[in-house]
Amino acid sequence: MVPRACPSWYNRGMWGRWAFRGASIALWLACTAGCGVGCDDGPHVPDRPPAPPLQDVSLFSDAYQFQCSPDRQVGCDGVFAIRRQAGDFPTHVAVLKNGDEAFRARLQLIHSAKRSIRMQALIFRGDDSGLFISQALKRKAAEGVDVRVIVDALSNLDSDTQWMYFDLKQHGIEVEGYETLYLNWIAADWKIGDPLRGNKRFHDKMLIIDAEDLPQARAIVGGLNVANEYFRIDPTPLNRWRDQDVALKGSVIKDVTRGFDRNYDYLKGLKERLPKIFNPDNSWKLTRAVLDRISRLQFDEVRDPKLKASIVETLKTPAKLTWRAVNARFLQSRPRFRESYISQAYLHLIRTAQNSIDIANAYFVPSRDLLDALKDAARRGVHVRILTNSPITNDIAPVATISRHLYQELLDVNREPAMQPQVGRGRGLEIYEWIGPDVGEGTLHAKFALFDDHSAIVGSYNLDPRSEALNSETAIALEDEGTVRALRTQFVLDDLKKSHLVTPAEAARYRNPKNLGKQFDLLFSLPLKNWL
């Protein structure tokens, strides 16, 4: 997904809706031309590893075995150790309640850095909050801190953002995923035999501070990109997104750092394999030498004075980090190397849950394995609650249309005769839709899940085909009752209160709409699910 707040023209009348349908027709034709027969049968991932067999052991046990990459050069390199809440440098986590708290925490960590800063996000936009963070990064680089940034090449193409990256580069900060004058194609990630390689995006979100000094090291992982809507500095409801991050300290920092470095080294390696004359890094060495002798180009640091004032006001309140000792496992999935560790973790935790599963996910288009696992969990007596976006709150409306197409299949499990005692006790499977602007909020962009009273996953991973089969993703799996309690309290007392419980009758209408316009929306959204 390209998670960017879009105008609500789609919901403003006939012309907006028909413009969407016209665009959908064009995309549908492109999809069918590229996929041929069977394009709607699921994401095209012929090399995806098979789902691992069910294991009756904890994800946080040394006995748990992941299905590793079948690529011989990769193998189990992407399997990270279990980090304990006891021993040397025990792992701790602090829940960051929303984007404004995550913004404060990010700036506090950046300001405290003494040796290094590693930052990765799909989106690092040259808007007010992005520029504010870029200025902080430049100040740290001037102090001698090693600053490295990774962004996704195709997700940051607007001119303001490109100029911000140029400014970072001229101040000695490496920005992988960016090349000046849109020359990313020189070191593009292409591979013969993998036609979808160019569509495999870097969707990871990480910030790591002073990884070389483990007692002082800190990290943030989760769902937030770097832009105004994520940090909620704009009072406009559409631009105040709901998202979820966690801060980390302890031995798990080693794994988050290795996850970042694997991506960084891979992108560097793409350029190092080129002839020296075509390696953009060599051009930058010359450019920086010239700029150091003359003068660096100057860029505006403020886009909107009102939003700059909002940032300053937000940062007056320090982030409150309540640390809890946890067992943790860092997860990274890179489909370009046929890794599927986050999907495996989700399936395992769903299949072994005994009492409750709570899922908040921005783009809910789950695989057949996940759909079946959720229904089977409900049949076991597990109370399953799923929260996602409606077409009104989703920044990519067709995704929510596809999500709605699946509701009836999920909710039908409640009608099975054997389920009636569970439903009578208030269990079964429930689906909620975020209502957003009606409660002063924008898009739900969070990606986290809670399992029983002891386990959670928080990260960048959407339950959709892109995260499963295309995007590089990161997440942290946690085992701790206090942390799960904190996340569930916010989920129940805040998130669900800003949501609408989908009824069986509504799910049936979404599956087979009577309205002609809704029929067109569904018809031209479904074939797109392979490309979302």
Alpha-carbon distance of 197 to 44, in angstroms, equals 12
Digitized pLDDT (tens) for each residue of the chain, 532 residues in all = 444 444 333 344 444 444 444 544 444 333 333 333 233 333 334 345 555 666 788 999 989 999 999 999 999 999 999 999 888 899 999 999 999 999 999 999 999 999 999 999 999 999 999 999 999 999 999 999 999 999 999 999 999 999 999 999 999 999 999 988 888 778 788 888 888 788 889 999 999 999 999 999 999 999 999 999 999 999 999 999 999 999 999 999 999 999 999 999 999 998 888 888 888 888 878 777 777 777 677 777 778 999 999 999 999 999 989 999 999 999 999 999 999 999 999 999 999 999 999 999 999 999 999 999 999 999 999 999 999 999 999 988 888 888 999 999 999 999 999 999 888 888 899 999 999 888 999 999 999 999 999 999 999 999 998 999 999 999 999 999 999 999 999 999 999 999 999 999 999 999 987 765 555 455 545 555 554 4
- Please say whether the dihedral angle defined by the alpha carbons of residues 472, 474, 477 and 481, taken in this order, is positive or negative: negative
- Unique residue bearing structure tokens 């940051």: 156
How far from chain centre, in Å, is Cα 125? 16
Alpha-carbon distance of 22 to 520, in angstroms, equals 10
pLDDT single digits (tens) 202-255: 999 999 999 999 999 999 999 999 999 999 999 999 999 999 999 999 999 999
Alpha-carbon distance of 258 to 18, in angstroms, equals 47
Within this chain, domains 92-314 and 353-531 share the same CATH topology: yes
Alpha-carbon distance of 366 to 185, in angstroms, equals 32
- May I ask the CATH class of domain 353-531? alpha beta
Alpha-carbon distance of 474 to 200, in angstroms, equals 14
DSSP characters for 471-482?
-BEEEEEEE-HH
Residue 341: what pLDDT? 97
The vertex-498 CA angle with 430 and 2, nearest 5°, equals 85
User: What ranges do the domains of the chain cover?
Assistant: 92-314, 353-531
DSSP characters for 420-481?
HHHHHTT-SEEEEEE-GGGGT---B--EEEEETTTEEEEES--SSHHHHHT-BEEEEEEE-H
Alpha-carbon distance of 512 to 507, in angstroms, equals 9
**Residue 219 phi/psi, 5° resolution?**
-150, 160
**Has domain 92-314 been given CATH number 3.10.250.10?**
no
